[in-house]
Every structure is written in structure tokens, then in C-alpha cells.
Amino acid sequence: MTQTKTRFRTLEEYAALDPLELPEGNYELVNGVLVEMGAENDQNREIVVFLLLALAQFVPRQLLRVGSEIAVSSKLVTSRYPDLMVLTEEARSAMKRDQRSLITPKMPTPSLVIEVVSPGEPGEDNYDRDYVDKRQEYAARAIPEYWLIDPMRAVVLVLSLIGGTYKAVEFRGDDRLESPTFPMLSLTAHQILTAGEGE
């Protein structure tokens, strides 16, 4: 991970920045500094596209977001770029179409956040960021549902927010995914984890 030189004192200062003034690439705001997250691998991108198309059968396209940012509150991190989000109508209405695609702390939360896990072991940055940090940050934002898709461990976790913490249910192989928010989805863990293979 590399850091840029610019330091932002507040989220508002960062949010007011014109998107054209931001560096190219994948960044997250960490302790007021933009930190490059590195490129996603192609398998992760195929999974995101697969899920985007699957959700588009039931969700109005204007509520689906890839590459949008959400403000979070943790020790260091100020914002995250989930792989895929499903907004509520209220969240979409609160976002200003002529500004950056950023869900600020005062805006309603998305109904679903999806993260495809990058390879890593417990104690390593990639693993801890997805399994520990984001889980706490998204719970603090009261996001009702959070999916963790881990191709390396061949598991899809559906986390539902109950009493301020997430309860996780694991899905593997031919297990049919059970989403409290989108019960009409008919996908298995295998279909998600192998998206794009053999096509």
C-alpha cells in the first residue's frame, strides 16, 4: 500500500473535493490520508459483475453501486469502497448526483454491502481488513446485511445485523444462499465463488 501526500482534516473537506482532483486507482481514506489499496484480481471482479447482474433482476438499477464510497468510523479509516452496494431509495435520494458517489455519515445506509475477500491469512492486512475491521465498521453504520465472499476459503458469509452486531451464516458448495433482504435470489455458494469459470 502506498500513501499520497494530501492530508484531509475532515471528511467534509475530502467529500468536497472534485473527483478529477483525486488520483487514479483504488484508494481509501485512512487517518486523513489517501492510501492506495492495489488492483483487484480478475476473479474478484468477475464475482462482482455476476452478483451485479443477479441483483439487477430484482433491484432497480439506480440502487446498485460499484465504485461508490461509504464513510465509516474506526480508529484510523474514514471511508471504504465496498465491491458492491445496494442502496435504499432514501440513501439514493440523499446522494447529490453532481458530486462524488459518497455516502456520508448523515445519509441513510445501504441495505446491503458486499465485499469479495482478497487472499490473506489471519493477522495479515487483507484478512483483518475484511473479516474484522469492515465487519465492525459496517455494524457501527447499522448496515443491515453484509456479505463476505471468500474464494480462497470457498465460503460465502451472509451477516445479518442483530442487536448491533452481525450474526454470520456460512454457505458452501451447493448451499443455496439465504439473504434476509433479498429472499428472491436463487444462487448457490458454488455459483458465486466460480463466477466466470468455464464461460
Per-residue pLDDT, averaged over 2-21, amounts to 61
Percentage of the chain lying above the pLDDT 70 cut: 74
pLDDT of residue 23: 64
The HSE-up count of residue 46 (CA atoms within 13 Å, CB side) is 13
Cell of 94: 440523499
Domains of the chain: 40-66+83-193 (3.90.1570.10)
Range scoring the smallest mean pLDDT among 67-76, 104-113, 136-145, 174-183: 67-76
Confidence tier at 10 by pLDDT (50, 70, 90):
low
Summarised one tens digit per residue, pLDDT across range 160-191 is 999 999 999 999 999 999 999 999 999 999 99
Per-residue pLDDT, averaged over 136-148, amounts to 95
pLDDT of residue 1: 44
The helix (run of H) or strand (run of E) holding residue 1 is none
**48 Cβ neighbours under 8 A, 6+ residues apart:** 66, 83, 84, 114, 116
pLDDT of residue 77: 65
Nearest to 157 by CA among 110, 117, 197, 122: 117
pLDDT of residue 26: 61
Residue 90, pLDDT above cutoff 70: yes
Nearest to 100 by CA among 11, 32, 31, 37: 11
DSSP letter for each residue of 82-129? -SEEE--HHHHHHS-TTS-SEE-TTSPPPSEEEEEPPS--TTSHHHHI
Nearest to 83 by CA among 134, 14, 22, 17: 134
Summarised one tens digit per residue, pLDDT across range 34-86 is 666 555 677 888 999 999 999 999 999 999 999 888 988 776 667 888 999 99
